[in-house]
Chains A and B, each alone.
Chain A
Amino acid sequence: MSMHCGYLFKRSFRRLLSSQNNKGLPRKFPLAGVKNVILVASGKGGVGKSTVATNLAIALSKWCSVGLLDADVFGPSIPLMMNVREVPEINHQKLILPPINYNVKCMSMGLLVDPSSPVVWRGLMVMQAIRKLLRGVLWGPLDLLIVDMPPGTGDTQLSITQEIPVTGVVLVTTPQAVALADCIKGAEMFGKVSLPILGLIENMSFFSCPFCSVKHHLYGSTPLSELVAGTAADVPVLAQLPMEPSVVRDCDKGSPSVIDNPHIGLVFDSVAERLLLHLDLESET
């Protein structure tokens, strides 16, 4: 695999590794100029984290300055969904300048590597790359950084939660049992590192047949609140999103649905209003 930016692995970032607390874990340092960080996570792959993160970032950008970090180094979807293609520039301080589209600053491994080249990295390299995407990018000044997390409960999740203070987590799931199981595991993991779960978003809740309009609950119709009751993911359900082919098409063409789809726009505006209550937009960073 060839990289466009060879600076990614400069030894200078190893000084961050030497910031140790008594337990041998790195201390958390806020990102310069970033007031709040929200992780959009799931545990399970393919439930719509990137779709939610993208539309949520744009909805929130109406109220505050927002950045969107694609932390999925293996499957970076944000460049396609946010229609951001250009290779980022670097300033005189050797910080990457995140491209802006739809009023949101974006950064992704997908902007730094060839689209057909796989990122074939073991965990240590992933950790270094995540640090670069966090601290090697000129995010600030920014009210809110949304982080689109990869699936799983491994290196990326540990690296981010150990590296920076996080305001909270929004969990995305479908009603499928296997997705819920992973979502609950994800909630447990975030609970272990003392991160608050701000809410759940149920994606692919149902599908309305375009021909006969009958609603189909492809993964069951039990309310999500009942399915997660008593588990680590027992938090308010912020939204239920249907399975809509138009949302899929919008993602694929890089035109997030929240912009032109009134129904989707209303849903994400509602989620944004609830999340704003958790943000600290006043303090200086």
Chain B
Amino acid sequence: AVVSTQSTGEVVAGISEIRNIITVLSGKGGVGKSTTVAVLAGTLASSGLSVGVLDADLCGPSLSRMIGLKGSIHSCEQGWLPLSASVGKGRISAVSLSFLVENQDEAVIWRGPKKTAMIKQFLSDVCWGALDYLLIDTPPGTSDEHMTIMEAIPNCSVVLVTSPQAVAAADVLRQVTFCKKTNANVLGIIETMSGFVCPNCSDCGLLFGKGGGKRLAEYCNIEFLGYVPIDPNLSRLLDRGELFKNFQSSASIQSYTEITKKLIKP
């Protein structure tokens, strides 16, 4: 279903009326950026806030699958209307390239200029309205997508995600430098995949180690927002697109809830 994004019924295109925009970056692939965006959106919306999510990972748009949204974007006179999903008592507006392509399995093989143009359209032509929060999911790296977002949103707020591994932390360190050069407002670092509690014996195995993200935060003088453990139940929910239907059933949601409290503190 599509929804008008303002209570007055007036539809406004672009991001100008959004109160808070948070871009989730990493530099490293596969550390849980999309997962973080999906779960943070869910925790924010569950608390009664109006939330939007934008998937800027055009080649690998995972977000729509994770939040269980399929469909086509429709347009009105003012622009494109996002799709929406309900979570608890709240709703989340979402935009992804997957809503614009006919075949979900088809590869999007685009060079930089095309990606830049698409992201600019997502930011200017979508009727986001007066959301409390817009969360932006990004691909790994520091290329066209990231520069386009930073140029469109001056002093953009950023949350960095890393796994505990040194190879991940090395990429995120570069991302920190990128944020400083683009005058981004880094809200903090989240360390994902931090420990696995065995459902059988309840002991905690450190598959990828622990503490790499915290050490990085201390090294860069950035707030450490928290650890998120490996959670097979969360992975299953995301794979099946059932996250918002069973939002409170996953243990790692509590970790994200604590992180959300730090992000929305006044």
| Complex contact B203–A211 (CB within 8 A) | yes
Q: Return the contact of B107 from the options A45, A116, A188 (Cβ within 8 A).
A: A188
| Complex contact B107–A189 (CB within 8 A) | yes
8 Å CB contacts to A: which residues of B129-182?
A: 139-144, 146-147, 163, 165-168, 170-171, 173-175, 177-178, 181
Give min CB distance, A249 to chain B, whole Å.
7
Give min CB distance, B102 to chain A, whole Å.
14
Tally chain A residues at the interface, Cβ within 8 Å: 60
| Complex contact A116–B177 (CB within 8 A) | yes
Q: Do A153 and B167 form a contact, CB below 8 Å, given A45-B140, A209-B203? A: no
Q: Return the contact of A157 from the options B109, B116, B196, B235 (Cβ within 8 A).
A: B109
Give min CB distance, A112 to chain B, whole Å.
14
Residues 43-71 of A, flagged 1 when their CB comes within 8 A of B and 0 if not, give 11111001000000000000000000000
Q: Do A219 and B239 form a contact, CB below 8 Å, given A74-B140, A248-B209? A: yes
8 Å CB contacts to B: which residues of A160-196?
A: 176-179, 181-182, 184-186, 188-189, 192
Q: Return the contact of B62 from the options A178, A217, A220 (Cβ within 8 A).
A: A178
A-B contact count (CB 8 A): 204
Q: Do A121 and B238 form a contact, CB below 8 Å, given A153-B59, A182-B62, A211-B201? A: no
Q: Which residue of A is nearest B203, CB measured?
A: A211
Q: Return the contact of B59 from the options A75, A116, A154 (Cβ within 8 A).
A: A154
Q: Check A102 for interface membership: any CB of B closer than 8 A.
A: no
13 further interface pairs, Cβ-Cβ under 8 Å (given A45-B31, A123-B143, A214-B198) = A45-B140, A152-B141, A158-B109, A176-B239, A177-B239, A177-B240, A182-B60, A188-B106, A192-B107, A192-B109, A217-B232, A245-B208, A252-B167
Q: List 14 A-B contacts (CB under 8 A).
A: A43-B60, A45-B30, A45-B139, A46-B30, A126-B112, A151-B59, A153-B108, A154-B112, A185-B59, A185-B60, A209-B200, A243-B207, A245-B207, A248-B165
Which residues of B are in contact with A by a Cβ distance under 8 Å? Answer: 27-31, 34, 59-60, 62, 65-66, 104-113, 115-116, 139-144, 146-147, 163, 165-168, 170-171, 173-175, 177-178, 181, 196, 198-201, 203, 205-209, 230, 232, 235-236, 238-240
